[in-house]
Amino acid sequence: MDRMKGMRLLAVVMLGVLWFGCALAEKTSPAERANVPSGSWIWIDIHQKSLTLYQGTEVQKIYPIATPSPIGVYTITHRFAGELGGFGTRFLGLNVPWGQFGIHGPNKPGSIGSNASHGCFRMRVKDSEELYGLVG
């Protein structure tokens, strides 16, 4: 079955400090605290500068990212593959209502792990390619 059919993939972007602190205090993961569905979804921790792919409450993969980026709960609404210039080779577009934001590879790989983004979630190109394949 095509992985995109029937799959609801969410990108959850919260202030990592608040959610991370609560999760540690209660010895539960962000996924368990959020009462998530059994499908795939993404948790982005801005404070830790990490993107975590979940299947239900189980961690599938953790990637380092560059931020800052919009805070909220979004869905992946469009996907592009190929040579995208400054966006690497893959782009997962999010339904942020006030602009064009997404998850992509950078034109400056040294920016990963820093506050260098202009709104998107930057990943290493190879990581963005892997994530692209895992969510679609």
Look at the pTM and tell me if it is higher than 0.75. no
pLDDT tens-digit map of 28-80: 666 666 666 678 889 889 889 999 999 888 899 999 998 877 788 888 999 99
The closest alpha carbon to 124, from 111, 133, 115, 134, belongs to: 111
Q: Name the burial class of residue 16, with classes exposed (0-12), middle (13-18) and buried (19+) by CB atoms within 10 angstroms of its CB.
A: buried
The pLDDT tens digits for 76-112 are 999 999 888 888 899 999 998 888 888 988 767 777 8
Residue 2, pLDDT above cutoff 70 = no
Mean pLDDT value across the chain: 76
What are the two backbone dihedrals, phi and then psi, of residue 84, each rounded to the nearest 5 degrees? Answer: -115, 25
